[in-house]
Structure 1
Amino acid sequence: MSEPFVAEIRIFAGNFAPRGWAFCDGQLLPISQNTALFSLIGTVYGGDGRSTTALPNLQGRAPMHPGRGPGLTSRRLGEKVGTETVTLTEAQIPSHRHTLRAAMATGTSSAPSTTTSMGGSFPIQIYNSDDQNLSDMAAETLSTAGGNQSHENVQPYLTLNFIIALVGLYPSHS
């Protein structure tokens, strides 16, 4: 394997960081022992810039190129964006309505059919009526859906480690 550049990040399938590398887990490192690394990444990923610098934290995150592409919003180096769970607000759900309709007429069947608005098997009898004078039942009849719980918002993934070179060749500007 070729000698890495200081601050180079690679994907590593092992369960340990090899010698001269560290996991990209946001840990703080002393600048005094990592001067070359600090000169490249500074405090972009954290640290106080006097005695510590932080490594990028790629735990649960997908790497993304900084800048702006066609039709994309601008992203700066080290910016953290996105969330693993999302709670939808009423404004984010398409406008829709749930109603339950009923008639006062006597039913003509004790078994649900394809013309019954609530098809399927139920422990109660559902009556099908030919009555065209259906009325909406009171809004309180149906319970509110939702409940402000979040849902997972994570793309499919394979868990691997990202490691960053602490030692190696110092990259030159081209």
Structure 2
Amino acid sequence: MTEPFIGEIQMYGFPFAPRDWAFCAGQLLPLQQNTALFALLGVTYGGDGRSNFALPNLAGNAAACQGQSAGGYQRALGETFGTAQVSLQALQLPPHNHAMSVYAQRDATKLHGTPAQGDAVTIPTTPPFADTTPSNASFAPTMVAPTGGGLPHENRQPYLTVNFCIALSGIFPQRP
């Protein structure tokens, strides 16, 4: 492996930081032992700037660029934003329906365990799929009711378990 730049961030799929690297987990580092990295990061991610400074915190977070976002928001370097869970209110949901038709298959020769065109797995026997339902009937409007009880839902993008690590030593990058 080539020598990294100081402050370079890499993703690793194992549960430890390589030698001369540290997890990007927002921890404080002593300034006197990491002067080169402090020269690059300063107190952008936290710390007092006299005795310590913080590393970026990418534990459970996603990296984002600084500057103007596509949504029109101005993002500063080191800024955190977003939330892992969100509670939606009924007024935030767009108008929609859950239309579904029930087709009662009465021909026993077409009932089997493998769905196929024009076949059915079984005869509907319980409400709202009762056999007394007329063929090709629609669900009642009350069939699908609001759910969730105001509890939050997961709001994070899909992710793999990777660790973001930052190089503590290496080549000092040239400034443009």
How does the TM-score come out when normalised to structure 2?
0.69
| Corresponding residue number in structure 1 for 2:67 | 67
Q: 2:147, 2:134 → 1: CA distance?
A: 26
| Corresponding residue number in structure 1 for 2:91 | 91
**Per-residue deviation, 1:116:** 5.8
Q: 1:156, 1:70 → 2: CA distance?
A: 20
Contact 2:31/2:51 (<8 A) preserved? yes
| Corresponding residue number in structure 2 for 1:170 | 172
Larger radius of gyration: 1
| Corresponding residue number in structure 2 for 1:155 | 157
Structure 1's 42 and 114: CA in aligned 2 closer, same or farther, altered over 3 A?
A: farther
Structure 1's 114 and 43: CA in aligned 2 closer, same or farther, altered over 3 A?
A: farther
| Corresponding residue number in structure 2 for 1:133 | none
Structure 1 stretch 143-152 or stretch 37-46: which is displaced more? Answer: 143-152
Greater than 6 Å deviation, 4+ residue runs: none
How does the TM-score come out when normalised to structure 1?
0.70
Q: How many residues align structurally? A: 142
After superposition, where does 1:1-174 map in structure 2 within 5 Å? Answer: 1-69=1-69, 72-94=72-94, 111-114=132-135, 118=139, 145-174=147-176
Which sections of structure 1, spanning at least 5 residues, go unmatched? Answer: 98-109, 120-142
- Paired amino acid for 1:111: T
Q: Secondary structure at the match of 1:162?
A: strand
Structure 1's 114 and 94: CA in aligned 2 closer, same or farther, altered over 3 A?
A: farther
Structure 1's 11 and 96: CA in aligned 2 closer, same or farther, altered over 3 A?
A: closer
Q: 1:155, 1:84 → 2: CA distance?
A: 9
Q: 1:156, 1:96 → 2: CA distance?
A: 25
Structure 1's 94 and 17: CA in aligned 2 closer, same or farther, altered over 3 A?
A: same
Q: Secondary structure at the match of 2:75?
A: coil
After superposition, what is the alpha-carbon deviation per residue over 1:100-144, rounded to whole angstroms, capped at 9, x for unaligned?
Answer: xxxxxxxxxx9222576646xxxxxxxxxxxxxxxxxxxxxxx86
- Paired amino acid for 1:173: R
